[in-house]
Amino acid sequence: MLALFKMISRQIIKTMEAYCVKCKAKREMVDAKEVDMKGKGGVKRKAMKGKCPKCGTTMFRIMGKA
Ligand SMILES: [Zn+2]
């Protein structure tokens, strides 16, 4: 049971929707990785960086204040 739950939660983390500017649609990011972005005043922000599965455009999703 625990192993199954771990598998499911991992899938949820991997599935990350972001807006693709090329497709003009929301897509599930491929190769989503957590990255640090520098915001205003040197504030670090967590963001997810990935690729659009259709056109390969780099997509970002800002996770908000970390
Ligand atoms: Zn796209």
Q: For residue range 12-66, what is the model confidence (pLDDT) as tens digits?
A: 555 789 999 999 999 999 999 999 988 789 888 888 899 999 999 999 888 875 4
pLDDT at 26: 94
Distance 61 CA to ligand 1 centre (A): 14
Model pLDDT, residue 28: 93
CA of 16 to the centre of ligand 1 (A): 14
Q: Ligand 1 centroid to 15 CA: how many Å?
A: 16
Q: What is the pLDDT at residue 25?
A: 96
Domain residue ranges in the chain: 2-65
**pTM to 2 decimal places:** 0.64
State the distance between the two ends of the chain, measured CA to CA, in whole angstroms: 31
24 vs 4, more confident: 24
Asked whether the beta carbons of 9 and 30 are under 8 A apart, the reply is: no
pLDDT at 55: 97
What is the residue type of 40? K
